[in-house]
């Protein structure tokens, strides 16, 4: 059950990030930081299906995360969710076609190691 | 530079928000079950303030993703773990173990490496992506 919940957390969190990124790119760069412009930009974001799907997916991820914490120790659940960095980077490369250089991969893998250490204790 | 500032303010909002929610939740009694606890939390000033900061965090995170790569933003925002550890240490008096310090150091090294790569993939490359139309 714990493994299943962690798998759901990782998959939904990754999908949420990919959908949010896709939607934010579809609705255009945020360049005008004036209050009225930001309100209009928010309206455009809320009307974008990818962003809405992303937010719903992230909410599911959060619920699965809380459920996992209810049955398993924090020191197991939180390090395991570091897998979202691998999922997110692979998804960014294949689905969003971002250029992931060797330096970026190396940095990401070191970050994952760090996140596991930080959250284990 | 805008990526740097957007993500820095975003991570500060997240860490301070986490500390505030955490502080507020400690005064919420769970004795009467889940629903009364949620109602109590929703009226707790620290929880409300912290939640507003977490909304600011999410808005800025999404803002950065409107121009920057996810594969850039995702690892760089792991620096938030370092801020979380620092704030928990100073404001909540939580002890930091040696393992946690070691992890913090690794995250810093990784973030410096990722931050050296260009934040945005040139758009001609993105146009052929299945996720981009």
Lowest mean pLDDT among A28-37, A95-104, B55-64, B109-118: A28-37
Judge: A95–B131 Cβ closer than 8 Å, yes or no.
Answer: yes
For B69, nearest residue in chain A (alpha carbons): A98
Q: How far is CA A34 from the centre of its chain?
A: 27
Domain count, chain B: 1
pLDDT at residue B36 above 90? Answer: no
> Which residue bears the tokens 């004795």?
B31
Read off the pLDDT band of B127 (50, 70, 90).
Answer: low
Contact between residue A2 and residue A71 where contact means Cβ atoms under 8 Å apart: yes
| Residues of chain B positioned with their CB less than 8 A from the CB of A13 | none
> What is residue A17's predicted lDDT score, i.e. its pLDDT?
97
The answer to whether residue B73 is domain-embedded is yes
Judge: A29–B130 Cβ closer than 8 Å, yes or no.
Answer: no
The answer to whether residue B35 is domain-embedded is yes
> What is residue B126's predicted lDDT score, i.e. its pLDDT?
59
d(CA B112, CA A111): 10
Read off the pLDDT band of B54 (50, 70, 90).
Answer: very high
User: What pTM was computed for the model?
Assistant: 0.88
d(CA B116, CA B121): 14
The answer to whether residue B130 is domain-embedded is no
The answer to whether residue B103 is domain-embedded is yes
For A19, nearest residue in chain B (alpha carbons): B131
Torsion, Cα of B69, B87, B17, B72 (10° steps): 0
For B85, nearest residue in chain A (alpha carbons): A118
The answer to whether residue B128 is domain-embedded is no
How many of the other CB atoms lie within 10 Å of CB of A114?
27
Read off the pLDDT band of B128 (50, 70, 90).
Answer: low
B131 vs B9, residue with greater confidence: B9
> What is residue B39's predicted lDDT score, i.e. its pLDDT?
86
**Across the interface, which of B62, B114, B129 has its CB nearest the CB of A20?**
B62
The answer to whether residue B6 is domain-embedded is yes
C-alpha gyration radius of chain B: 18
Helix or strand or coil: residue A67? Answer: helix
The answer to whether residue B125 is domain-embedded is no
Domain spans of chain A, in order of start: 2-120
> What is residue B18's predicted lDDT score, i.e. its pLDDT?
87
The answer, for B77 touching chain A at a CB cutoff of 8 Å, is no
A52-62 tens-digit pLDDT:
999 999 999 99
Judge: A106–B106 Cβ closer than 8 Å, yes or no.
Answer: no
ipTM: 0.92
Mean pLDDT of B62-79: 95
d(CA B122, CA B109): 26
Read off the pLDDT band of B133 (50, 70, 90).
Answer: very low
Q: Calculate the alpha carbon distances from B132 to A97, B3, B68, B111, B121 in Å.
A: 9, 21, 14, 27, 13
Domain that holds residue B23: 2-120
| Residues of chain B positioned with their CB less than 8 A from the CB of A17 | 70, 74
Read off the pLDDT band of B5 (50, 70, 90).
Answer: very high
The answer to whether residue B57 is domain-embedded is yes
Contact between residue B41 and residue B53 where contact means Cβ atoms under 8 Å apart: no
- CA-based angle B59:A25:A81, to the nearest 5? 60
User: Could you say which residues of chain A have pLDDT below 50?
Assistant: none
């Amino acid at each position: 059950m714990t493994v299943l919940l962690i798998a759901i957390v990782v998959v939904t969190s990754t999908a949420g990030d990919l959908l949010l990124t896709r939607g934010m790119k579809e609705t255009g760069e945020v360049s005008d930081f004036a209050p009225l412009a930001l309100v209009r930009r928010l309206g455009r974001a809320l009307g974008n299906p990818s962003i809405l799907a992303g937010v719903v997916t992230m909410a599911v991820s959060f619920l699965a995360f809380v459920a996992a914490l209810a049955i398993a120790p924090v020191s197991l659940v939180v390090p395991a969710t570091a897998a979202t960095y691998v999922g997110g980077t692979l998804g960014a490369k294949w689905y969003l076609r971002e250029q992931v250089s060797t330096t970026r991969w190396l940095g990401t893998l070191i970050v994952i190691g760090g996140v596991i250490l930080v959250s284990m204790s | 530079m805008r990526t740097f500032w957007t993500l820095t303010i975003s991570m500060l909002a997240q860490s301070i928000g986490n500390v505030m929610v955490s502080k507020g939740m400690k005064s919420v009694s769970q004795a009467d079950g889940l629903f009364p606890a949620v109602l109590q939390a929703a009226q707790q000033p620290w929880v409300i303030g912290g939640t507003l900061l977490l909304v600011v965090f999410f808005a800025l995170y999404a803002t950065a993703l409107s121009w920057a790569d996810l594969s850039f933003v995702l690892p760089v925002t792991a620096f938030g773990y370092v801020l979380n550890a620092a704030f928990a240490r100073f404001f909540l008096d939580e002890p930091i173990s040696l393992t946690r310090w070691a992890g913090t150091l690794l995250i810093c090294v990784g973030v410096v490496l990722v931050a050296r790569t260009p934040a945005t993939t040139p758009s001609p490359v993105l146009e052929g992506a299945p996720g981009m139309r």
